[in-house]
């Protein structure tokens, strides 16, 4: 393996953890002389594309030891005993080549908790394979120099026996890159690309919240392809912006027939989101707004989520109000509403029900949570029909209050709303700077929302977190449905 830690951009905390594993392999006596034991295994946990496999290869490259790499599905066969046999063979080879690293990617393919999902009641070959893996991990001492690394994005489904100390001693979380780490990743992937002179990597990092390392690699490649398609001699800033739109929103629908009235309605809808979010203290900072049809959407507003360990009632309500800004703008401007707010309504409904029934943020229901952390489906609800009626009423009341609040904000700023919508109709894409021209600098922004010092975490751009997990399902992109 020729990969070292220098080839791994970002992942600062995860790299620090695995560097210790390298030191274990290089200088075992440093730890054993003090009575310490070398950890047998490390589990890399993180979303797809964050660099778990790359990190494991870098460990082997730095330690200069043999690297056995397999996927969890390699052990799964239709023939009885094959999976367990492969596990035995793998560990036999590893003992012969020690010190070495065994890396099992997607370990949830064989490491899933036993006794679940086996509806037929028969013998599960996957369980035999897991049992053999558990035996082998117990079967060698800490002085053999074999370290097992595994990667998964579903640590919650793994068998508890696999996660106990003595098997996978450490769980290392590989998070999505923050803005500084995205800059480092861009620096790596832009090396082979012929760039225009004025490309600003800071700007690219700001435009890509929620992008994993793999997403950024794909973005750089997509920008190069777009530049080649246009006949450019080098990749320009606009090529990167087009690539971001292509990846997040899908293909541009150039042939989609939209009437002038529809386009105007879309512009005011998106301008409504932008205006309300700009004027609320807890709404996320805006990155850009577009009314170019892409994929299933006719327009979108993209935001940069702030780092929050906990979310207050005021923050959730401001987010809901900003989400209802699109429909409120339609009502204020045209005195009618459309079906374009489907995804907005879905989002605020989840947030409202989460506030009332899960997080105890409602005075009428009180400090009670009906959230089942085990995630087990049930045919019965843990509350009465009377309580269910109150939950429905309170959730509806919260949504209507935030809709009325959005209407009032837009009524007070109707002239600026019109200016923003007109600018959208003219240029089709507007950025934060365009809003500053109309509204002035946003008073609630922390010292320069460039956030280079704040390490705002990236969040998934395409998937809204379900209300069961997050009271504030945040998506960096907000779409108006076609």
Please indicate whether residue 157 or residue 466 has the higher confidence score (pLDDT).
157
**Are 313 and 345 in the same domain?**
yes
Catalytic residue among 106, 181, 270, 394: 270
Question: Domain for residue 455, yes or no?
Answer: no
Burial class (CB in 10 A: 0-12, 13-18, 19+), 414: middle
Please say if the pLDDT value at position 325 is more than 90: yes
149 plus 185 within the same structural domain: no
Query: Can you give the pLDDT at residue 278?
Result: 92
Range 330-344 burial, b when 16+ CB lie within 10 A, else e: bbbbeeeebebbebb
* pTM > 0.75: no
Least confident residue range of 14-18, 84-88, 245-249, 390-394: 245-249
DSSP strand pairing (429-431 vs 286-290): antiparallel
Please report the pLDDT score of residue 83 as a whole number: 80
CB atoms within 10 A of CB 208: 26
Domain at 125, CATH number: 3.40.50.300
Same domain, 118 and 187: no
Whether residue 155 sits in one domain with residue 15: yes
Provide DSSP, 204-243.
HHHT-TT--HHHHHHHHHHHHHHHHHHT-SSB-HHHHHHH
pLDDT tens-place string over residues 244-264: 878 876 766 665 667 888 889
Give residue for tokens 């054993």.
32
- Domain end: 147, 173, 199, which one? 173
Give 141 or 282, the one with higher predicted confidence.
282
The average pLDDT across 8-34 equals 84
Residues 189 and 301 placed together within one structural domain of the fold: no
Pair 151, 266 in one domain: no
**Does 347 lie in the same domain as 243?**
no
Q: Does 190 lie in the same domain as 157?
A: no
Residue 341 lies in a domain: yes
Q: Roughly what angle, to the nearest 10 degrees, separates helices 432-439 and 260-279? A: 80
Q: Is 346 a catalytic residue?
A: no
DSSP assignment string, 292-361: --BTTEEEEEEE-PPP-SS--HHHHHHHHHHHTHHHHHHHHHHS---GGGHHHHHHHHHHHHHHHHTS--
The pLDDT of residue 72: 83
Q: Do 14 and 94 reside in the same domain of the chain?
A: yes
Mean pLDDT score, 371-387: 73
Checking if the pLDDT of 323 tops 70, the result is: yes
CA distance 303 to 286: 4
Do residue 275 and residue 131 come from a single domain?
no
User: What is the residue range of 211's domain?
Assistant: 179-249
> What is the pLDDT at residue 194?
92
Pick from 210, 183, 172: nearest CA to 305: 210
Q: Do 18 and 147 fall into the same domain?
A: yes
Give how many domains the chain has, as a whole number.
3
Question: For 73-97, how does the pLDDT look when each residue is reduced to its tens digit (9 = 90+)?
Answer: 887 766 677 888 888 888 888 888 8
- 388: domain CATH number is 1.20.58.760
Q: Which of 173, 200, 235 is the last residue of a domain?
A: 173
């Amino acid at each position: 393996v020729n990969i070292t830690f220098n080839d791994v951009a970002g992942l600062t905390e995860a790299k620090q953890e695995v560097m210790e594993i390298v030191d274990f392999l290089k200088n075992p006596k440093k730890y054993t002389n003090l009575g310490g034991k070398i950890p047998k295994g490390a589990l890399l946990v993180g979303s797809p594309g964050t660099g778990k496999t790359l990190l494991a290869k870098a460990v082997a490259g730095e330690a200069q030891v043999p690297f056995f790499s397999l996927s969890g599905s390699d052990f799964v066969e239709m023939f009885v005993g094959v999976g367990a046999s492969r596990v035995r063979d793998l560990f036999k080879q590893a003992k012969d080549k020690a010190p070495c690293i065994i890396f099992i990617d997607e370990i949830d393919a064989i490491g899933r908790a036993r006794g679940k999902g086996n509806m037929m009641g028969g013998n599960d070959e996957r369980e035999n394979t897991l049992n053999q893996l558990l035996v082998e991990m117990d079967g060698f001492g800490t002085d053999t120099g074999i370290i097992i690394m595994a990667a998964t994005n579903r640590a919650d489904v793994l068998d508890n026996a696999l996660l106990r100390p003595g098997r996978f001693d450490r769980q290392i979380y590989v998070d999505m890159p923050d803005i500084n780490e995205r800059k480092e990743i861009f620096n790596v992937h832009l090396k082979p690309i012929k760039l225009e002179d004025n490309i600003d990597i800071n700007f690219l990092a700001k435009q890509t919240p929620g992008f994993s390392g793999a997403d950024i690699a794909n973005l750089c490649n997509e920008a190069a392809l777009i530049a080649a398609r246009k006949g450019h001699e080098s990749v320009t800033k606009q090529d990167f912006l087009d690539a971001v739109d292509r990846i997040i929103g899908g293909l541009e629908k150039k042939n989609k027939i939209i009437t002038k009235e529809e386009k105007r309605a879309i512009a005011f809808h998106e301008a409504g989101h932008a205006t309300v979010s700009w004027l609320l203290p807890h709404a996320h900072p805006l990155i850009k707004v577009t009314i170019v049809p892409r994929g299933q959407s006719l327009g979108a507003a993209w935001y940069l989520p702030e780092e929050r360990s906990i979310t207050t009632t005021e923050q959730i309500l401001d987010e809901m109000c900003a989400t209802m800004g699109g429909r409120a703008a339609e009502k204020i401007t045209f005195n009618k509403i459309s079906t374009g707010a489907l995804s907005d309504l879905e989002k605020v409904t989840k947030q409202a029900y989460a506030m009332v029934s899960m997080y105890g943020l409602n005075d009428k229901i009180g400090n009670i949570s009906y959230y089942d952390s085990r995630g087990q489906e049930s045919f019965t609800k843990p509350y009465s029909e009377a309580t269910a009626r109150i939950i429905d009423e309170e959730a509806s009341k919260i949504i209507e209050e935030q809709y009325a609040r959005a209407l009032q904000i837009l009524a007070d700023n109707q002239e600026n709303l019109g200016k923003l919508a007109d600018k959208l109709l003219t240029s089709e894409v507007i950025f934060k700077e365009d809003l500053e021209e109309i509204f002035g600098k946003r008073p609630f922004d922390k010292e320069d929302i460039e956030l280079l010092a704040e390490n705002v975490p990236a969040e998934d751009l395409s998937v809204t977190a379900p209300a069961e997990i997050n009271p504030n399902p945040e998506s960096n992109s907000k779409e108006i449905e076609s």
